Chain A
Amino acid sequence: AQSVAQPEDQVNVAEGNPLTVKCTYSVSGNPYLFWYVQYPNRGLQFLLKYITGDNLVKGSYGFEAEFNKSQTSFHLKKPSALVSDSALYFCAVRDKSNYQLIWGAGTKLIIKP
């Protein structure tokens, strides 16, 4: 069955430290991969996507993500966390065969000053 896993419900990082939010997927073929962020009482905002090409993609607010085909992962990273990065982060995968968009359950990122 197609699925997206975000293994950590919550990630705590000190301000200024690097952060990683993990995402793994189980989808046939080479999917399109996305990260979205949701601030409290707001809709989801697009951060970045991987379609093809370079495995390291850069997105908004200094975030980047690395596509690893052998590990079927698409982890979100940032070299230096800000308190304002505290939010809920969702990984999503689109199956190219039927264009179905599959969502992870979300990871709450807390950046402490």
Chain B
Amino acid sequence: EAGVAQSPRYKIIEKRQSVAFWCNPISGHATLYWYQQILGQGPKLLIQFQNNGVVDDSQLPKDRFSAERLKGVDSTLKIQPAKLEDSAVYLCASSQKTGPGELFFGEGSRLTVL
């Protein structure tokens, strides 16, 4: 079974530029999560989708971050314009359903903003 795919693995941009990350979850997983992980900290949920609907985006900085999951499968997270403090690893995860099921994570996309 293929795992959660993310790209790119690494991205370096200057502040005020834009960047997009892509995630393809495990086949059949209805729930998709985007997390931000700053070095030395635990993951922080940015947005959670159930199929193509948003379940929780309360911690997403909506003035600069956006995410979509148009067909209920893969998803894109965009940052525009980027700030220095956006430097982090962006983790995508999926699960079969919300509740007792565990999350399966991708390798992450490391963003460096200069």
B36 to chain A, nearest CB (A): 12
B65 at the interface (CB under 8 A from A): no
Pick from A49, A99, A103, A105: contact of B102, CB below 8 A. A49
B49 to chain A, nearest CB (A): 14
Q: Are A103 and B99 in contact (CB under 8 A)?
A: no
Contact-residue bracket for chain B: 20 to 34
Contact-residue bracket for chain A: 20 to 34
Residues from chain B with Cβ under 8 Å of A42 in the complex = 107-108
Interface residue ranges, B against A (CB under 8 Å): 4, 6, 40-45, 56, 91, 93, 98-100, 102-108, 110
Interface residue ranges, A against B (CB under 8 Å): 32, 34, 36, 41-46, 49, 51, 90, 94, 96, 99-101, 103-106
